[in-house]
Structure formats: C-alpha cells, structure tokens
Structure 1
Amino acid sequence: MKRGGQVIYSGPLGRNSRKIIEYFEAIPGIPKIKEKYNPATWMLEASSVVAEVRFGIDFAKHYKSSSLHQRNKALVKELSVPPLGTKDLYFTSQFSQPNLGQFQYCLWKLWLTYWRSPDYNLVRMFFTLACGPYGWINFLAGWQKTSIGNKTQKDNTGDLTTIIGAMYAAVLFVGINNCQTVQPVVAIERTVFYREKAAGMYSALPYAMAQCILWWASNGQCINSFGSFLYYISFLYFTYYGMMTVSITPNHQVASILAATFYALFNLFSGFFIPRPKIPKWWIWYYWICQLAWIVYGLIVSQYGDVTDPITVPEMKNSTTVQWYVKNNFGYEPNFIGPVAGVLVGFAVFFAFMYAYYYIKTLNFQMR
C-alpha cells in the first residue's frame, strides 16, 4: 500500500520475492534490481512518491488496470461461494464472554490502570488532604469559645459566614480539582476503548458501567478527611461532570475549556455569595439547576439548620438564633435535607448517564 491506503500490489511474493520483483520491473521506467540487493528496500524505493513523480505513473491505478488485480477479484468471487454441503460460520453471541464476564474484565483492567496512575492519584489525594487542614483552620478561626455551659457560641454573622465559607471553599476547590484531573485519564482510556471495542473484546455497556463504578469507589478514598456523605457526593458528581465533558469533546484540552466555562456560573449561583432570596426572579431558574447550589444548601442545613444558639445580626437590635438566620437569610428550610440528598444523587446519576450515552453510543472522535 502507498500513502493514503491505496493498494499498489496484492499477490504472491514468490521465492526470493521473485514475483513482486517481476511485477514492478515490468512497469515502464522502473530500474532493474541490482544483484544481491535487498528486495524490500528496492521495492520501497521503486514505488516511492518520488518515483511516481519521476516516471509519471500512479502505481495504484496501474495495479487496478493490471491482470493481477483481475485475477485477485476472480479469486475472491470464487472463494466467496461456499462449497456444497458446507455452512457459514456461526457463533451464538458476538462476544466470547457474557455481559457479567465483560464487566468483571473491564473493572479489573480499569482498576489496575487506576492504581498505576500515580500522577493522577497523588495530585488528587494531596489536594484533598491539603484542603482539609485549610477548612479546619477557617472553621476554628470563626468560633469563639465562651463559658456558657458546654456550648460554643457564634457572636455574629461574620463568624458563621467564615465557617460556611470554609466548607464551601473545600467543596469547590476539591470538586474542580477532581473534574480537571480525571479528564486526561478518561481521554486516554477512550483511545484504548476504541481499539479494544473494534477487536471485539467487549461491548460498550459493560465498559461504561465498569468505569462509572470505578470512579464511584475511588472517590470514597477522598472523604476520609471530611467524613460526610454530602462531601462525597459532591466530589463524585464533579468527577462525573469532568467525564461527561470528555465524552462530548474530541480531547481533554477542549473538555477542560468547556468545563471551566461553567465554573464561574456555578460559583455565582451557588447561593453563598448571593443568597437565594436576593437572586433576581428571572435568574432563579439557574439556581435550581446548579449542582453547587444544592450542595451548599445541604451543607448549611445539615450543620446549622437546627442550631438554636443566639447570634448577632447587624441589622437587628436583638439577637436571634442561627436557625432563624439560616432560614431567612439563605432561604433554607431545615426539613428539606432529604430532597437535597436525593437531588445530589440525581446529579451524579445524570452526569454518569450522559457520559455513558455520549461516550459509548452517540459520539465517536476516532481520527482514523
């Protein structure tokens, strides 16, 4: 074959490559092979692009018009008709293993790949552990110890905002880091998936399920410093969000740009910098579809939704309770924690489904 995938010779080589040498030597202008010269080297030189330009010949067209090509076509036609009494090859299934076996193989392969990627794991774990002490420093800085029984009293809304901001920053920074670091890993695996799928090693569905379950299990390592389901599910859907952006883009560089486009919107409509009651009505719809807003909702309500300790609000003469402030300033209902958890799980499932659907079934970014 020559450049471009066009066939210039298909036939027997013969003893000492005699057949192919005779074929090319019969073409007008092609020099004879020298004595004791390597036939493979001579053939590459004789059929090069330079030789085509020099002799004004297209080897692909010459082959198609040759008697050798006609004999090959006749042979293919003859062999395509099965002899009498024979049957076509038949297999009960397309793959050698059932779906469960394919899933186990894919999970095992991806698990080994995961643990053999220290550049991905170490960066992600270090970043998570580094955000843990940062959050605790801000957490402790916002508290002031008093001697009123065994309670810890927050004097004003600034202290409470500092504590909430520490939790919010931990979720945002670790979530974005999870999203960005998973993208090149998934992009590389996509190339391997294309090759192995074409070879018939496994179908698309077991592979997609194995990859989603792998990241579901691996993200559990990163919640040891927080110990919270809300943190875990937020890290998980950020990871799935990064995977989804890879599935709809040709490479991880474009996926990183696409994902970063929405970081500012997530931050703006999270409900932390601009509480929900202060968001304009024509923008409130984006607040409800912003996954970061739901995690902020869950974190604040789960930690302070039932706290009745007194707190000083600058606009009020008398102190009020933390529960009242959370409800009236942020618009959070203490009894809404169940639906919040359900919505967060729904976001993770949605991103995983979109990743599997576009990555496996719909889009194909193969370059050849």
Structure 2
Amino acid sequence: MDGVRKVANTGRTVVCTIHQPSTEVFSVFDSLLLLKRGGETVFAGELGNNASELIAYLESIEGVTKLKDNYNPATWMLEVTGAGVGNSNGDETDFVAVFKSSKHFQFLQSNLDQDGVSRPSTDLPELTYTDKRAATEFTQMKFLMQRFFTMYWRTASYNLTRFSLFLILGILFGITYIHAEYSSYAGVNSGMGMLFCTTGFIGFISFSSVVPIASEDRLAFYRERASQTYNALWYFVAATVVEIPYVFIGTMIFMALYFPMVGFTGAATFFAYWVHLSMHVLWQVYFGQLMAYLLPTVEVATIFGVLLQVISFLFSGFNPPGNSIPTGYKWLYDITPHRYSLALLASLVFGDCPSDGDGSEIGCKVMTGLPPSLSENMRVKDYLEDVFLMKHSHIWRNFAFVFGFIVIYRLLGLLTLRFVNHQKK
C-alpha cells in the first residue's frame, strides 16, 4: 500500500477495493465510497485524518454504537452498518436514506450539478483525443523491445534449456559420426540421415519450447490490447526481434562441436552452414509462435503443430528421396519448408566441389559401393543432385524460399494477433 500511496501522491487517481483492512491500511486512503448490498451508497466523501470525518458522520446517526478506543474504524464501520459479523444496527437504520439527507450527499450533488460534469457545457471545448494511444509509436516500440529482452533474460528456464539441448545434440551427433566417411554409398546416405536428424531435432526443440512462452504472454497481450496500451504491430516486432540473437547463439553452440567432429571442413562452409541452420531454427520458432497465437491452448497448439511437422518430415526429400516422391504428391514436396532447409545444408557439405578448396570438398569424391542402378564413377555431388534433387547451384533459391517462409509465418502471426482473440471474458 505504500507504493499505491506514492502513486497517488504524484497526482494520479487510484481506486482500490478493500475488505476489512487494518487501521494502518485504512488510514492510507483519502476518500471512501461505502456501498451496501445492491450497490446503494452508505457513505461517500473524505475520510479525514485517521478517518475522523467518517467516524463523526456515523456517530451522529441515532442508534449507532460509538467507536471504542484503539478499535479498528474499518471493522467498526462494517459492524454498525450491518456488513460486519457482529452488527446490530444494519436492519434497524436505513443508512442509504440517512446519507441522502446528509451534507455529504448535498456536497456531492452540488459538484455533479455543473455544466461540463453531468451535462454538456457550451463554454467548455469538446474533449477529443488526436491519438488512439497515449504513447508515441517510437515509445511503444522501445518499451516493448525492453520488455521482451528483459523477459527472455529472466526466463532462464527457456533459453538455458534449449542451449543445453543444442549442446547435448552437438556432442551426441559429433561422437556418433566422429570417424564417418562420406565417399561410399552407405556413408553418404548415413550423412544425409545425420543432416535430416539434426535439422529435425533442433527444429522440433525450438518449436516445442516457444509455444508455452508465447501462449503465456498472450494473456497479457489481450489485456493490454483491450486497453489500447500499444499497437499489436510493435508487440509483434518485439517478439520477432528478441528471438534472433538467442537463435544464433544456440546454433553456434551446436555448430562449435558438431561441425568439426563429424568431419566437415572449410571456414566459409562453416559460416554458411551456421547461418542457414539459424534460419531453419528461426522459422521453426516463428511457426511455434503462430500456433500459440492461432490456437486456444498450449496443448492444442502443440498437437496441431506436431502433426504438421510430421507431415513435413515425410515430404522433406530425404526418405523418400526427392526423385522417388510420386507425382501426385509433388505439390506437398514443393510447399514443405523442411525440404528447402535440408537442401540448403546438404548442398553446402555434399553438393559442393570447389575449385579453390575454400569450401567442402566432399562433393568431389567418387563414390564407392554403388548399386547397379547408378552409373559408375559418380561423385557425391552428382548423387545428391540425381537422387535427392539437391543442387549447390540452387542454394540462393532455397535460401529465398526459407526466408519467404519466415516472412509468411510472421505475417500470419501478425494477422492472428490482430484479429484472433481467445479471451473468454
């Protein structure tokens, strides 16, 4: 209550509902509105020092027991008006009628019976607001940015959990593939399975982690949007930006162990792989936020999102590979975002055969152990292009598709924030 008192001292009006407060708390208030059952006014006016005005008013009413020394005036007030446990006058005295004949009521009526208060005034200008919200657009953006970055910094369970899982995945996959070779038919397929699993696990962790966070904060957003505290656009922008540094840090933790341990080489390839993996994680996070905004509960959002993820895994181009997907299902293959993320990473490490030696040289290797259905002397790069339909020359096109999915998910998220409301009251 000391904090409330400090706010009131700045000139702001603070309205509190209280039930049988202590003497110390009761003395903090300046005025009192006391209502009986049904909403009729028993008292409205200044409390005075140590509730002296209220005490004097109630004691002036015939039949009201005087306030005892060192007795809580709030408790006494409720008892004598019939709202307390030990009341004696509540049924005998009509406190509403008494108040209407008091000077306090006349004072209220005189204040209300003025032009510009209870009726329009020709002398006062019309009260209009030029802006829908009190804060400027820049102020809304600044404080929402600060709020989200503070919230993420304080939500250690969210960020430390995904960082730890990324670290564990990097160690597990690194140890599993530490002596892997990528020149045989089995080795290349095993390497493709590794890429499929790493992107799948990291993406699913990112998706499932963000759904509860976004759903929980959505409740505060509904309240604040209803009071026009800020524009939904700036909430959306802040929720978008705050994820970027955490995603890039998390994927770097994974890459620092995973990339060298599995036998990938090339500084340029490392950097490109890190950026593309981060883009994959970003669209998974934004997809999770979209599900949280669109669907009513965390459980429904998670189940529906997992269903879409499983369908996407089937048409990502790994199993079955791109050239084996039936023609009737090619459209699912074309609209699956996982396909473009996997193609980006696979073409970086298996689909490149650089002449300057600055990238991954795995694509230049001639494969061994090929089945009779494939031509002899086939390079890893050629196998990737013919079987999985993943070409190094399509990197920028695939990157554009991944970026496009990020934009689509964010636009859908913005529209959902603006037009969908699951608040039931």
TM-score (norm 2): 0.68
Q: Aligned partners of 1:265 and 1:126: how far apart in 2?
A: 27
Residue pair 2:321, 2:388 contacting (<8 A) in 1 also: yes
Q: Aligned partners of 1:300 and 1:338: how far apart in 2?
A: 13
Whether 1:311 and 2:362 are equivalent positions in the alignment is: no
Q: Secondary structure at the match of 2:291?
A: helix
- Please state how far the C-alpha of 1:35 moved relative to its aligned partner: 8.0
Q: Secondary structure at the match of 2:178?
A: helix
Residue pair 1:13, 1:19 contacting (<8 A) in 2 also: no
- Please state how far the C-alpha of 1:351 moved relative to its aligned partner: 0.9
What does 1:116-195 correspond to in 2, within 5 Å? 116-143=154-181, 154-195=182-223
What does 1:244-263 correspond to in 2, within 5 Å? 244-263=290-309
Q: Aligned partners of 2:163 and 2:317: how far apart in 1?
A: 28
What does 1:37-48 correspond to in 2, within 5 Å? 38-40=76-78
Letter in 2 for 1:96: A
- Please state how far the C-alpha of 1:18 moved relative to its aligned partner: 10
Letter in 2 for 1:108: Q
Q: Which residue in the other structure is 2:345 paired with?
A: 299
Q: Aligned partners of 1:300 and 1:85: how far apart in 2?
A: 76
What does 1:79-118 correspond to in 2, within 5 Å? 79-118=117-156
Q: Secondary structure at the match of 2:126?
A: coil
Letter in 1 for 2:424: M
- Please state how far the C-alpha of 1:281 moved relative to its aligned partner: 1.1
**Structure 1's 302 and 17: CA in aligned 2 closer, same or farther, altered over 3 A?**
farther
Residue pair 2:159, 2:246 contacting (<8 A) in 1 also: no
Q: Secondary structure at the match of 2:125?
A: coil
Q: Aligned partners of 2:315 and 2:147: how far apart in 1?
A: 39
Letter in 2 for 1:308: C
Could you give the per-residue CA deviations for residues 112-147 of structure 1, whole angstroms, max 9, x where no partner exists? 00000011011110011111122323443422xxxx
Residue pair 2:210, 2:285 contacting (<8 A) in 1 also: yes
Aligned match of 2:279 in 233, 239, 258?
233
**Structure 1's 7 and 197: CA in aligned 2 closer, same or farther, altered over 3 A?**
farther
Residue pair 2:183, 2:365 contacting (<8 A) in 1 also: no
Residue pair 1:309, 1:321 contacting (<8 A) in 2 also: yes
- Please state how far the C-alpha of 1:199 moved relative to its aligned partner: 3.6
Q: Aligned partners of 1:119 and 1:128: how far apart in 2?
A: 14
Residue pair 1:135, 1:167 contacting (<8 A) in 2 also: no
Q: Aligned partners of 1:328 and 1:317: how far apart in 2?
A: 11
- Please state how far the C-alpha of 1:7 moved relative to its aligned partner: 5.8
Letter in 1 for 2:367: I
Q: Aligned partners of 2:165 and 2:151: how far apart in 1?
A: 21
Q: Aligned partners of 1:250 and 1:17: how far apart in 2?
A: 51
Aligned match of 1:332 in 369, 387, 390?
390
Q: Secondary structure at the match of 1:320?
A: coil
- Please state how far the C-alpha of 1:297 moved relative to its aligned partner: 1.2
Residue pair 1:298, 1:337 contacting (<8 A) in 2 also: yes
Could you give the per-residue CA deviations for residues 221-277 of structure 1, whole angstroms, max 9, x where no partner exists? 112132511100000000000000011112222211111111211211111111111
What does 1:27-66 correspond to in 2, within 5 Å? 38-40=76-78
Aligned match of 2:244 in 189, 195, 216?
216
Q: Aligned partners of 2:211 and 2:197: how far apart in 1?
A: 22
Q: Aligned partners of 1:220 and 1:320: how far apart in 2?
A: 36
Residue pair 2:365, 2:379 contacting (<8 A) in 1 also: yes
Q: Which residue in the other structure is 2:407 paired with?
A: 349
Residue pair 2:141, 2:235 contacting (<8 A) in 1 also: yes
Whether 1:273 and 2:319 are equivalent positions in the alignment is: yes
Q: Secondary structure at the match of 2:197?
A: helix
Q: Aligned partners of 1:249 and 1:76: how far apart in 2?
A: 50
Whether 1:8 and 2:39 are equivalent positions in the alignment is: yes
Letter in 2 for 1:341: F
Q: Secondary structure at the match of 1:284?
A: helix
Residue pair 1:125, 1:222 contacting (<8 A) in 2 also: yes
Residue pair 1:196, 1:202 contacting (<8 A) in 2 also: yes
- Please state how far the C-alpha of 1:283 moved relative to its aligned partner: 1.0
Letter in 1 for 2:127: L
TM-score (norm 1): 0.78
Whether 1:320 and 2:320 are equivalent positions in the alignment is: no
Letter in 2 for 1:105: F
Q: Aligned partners of 1:176 and 1:208: how far apart in 2?
A: 22
Where structure 2 has 5 or more consecutive residues not aligned to the other structure, the ranges are: 1-16, 18-36, 46-52, 68-74, 86-95, 102-107, 256-270, 353-362
Q: Aligned partners of 2:64 and 2:329: how far apart in 1?
A: 78
Q: Aligned partners of 2:339 and 2:56: how far apart in 1?
A: 75
Letter in 1 for 2:371: P
- Please state how far the C-alpha of 1:367 moved relative to its aligned partner: 2.5
Letter in 2 for 1:233: M
Q: Secondary structure at the match of 1:311?
A: coil
- Please state how far the C-alpha of 1:13 moved relative to its aligned partner: 4.0
Q: Aligned partners of 1:252 and 1:233: how far apart in 2?
A: 24
- Please state how far the C-alpha of 1:282 moved relative to its aligned partner: 1.1
Q: Aligned partners of 2:204 and 2:406: how far apart in 1?
A: 15
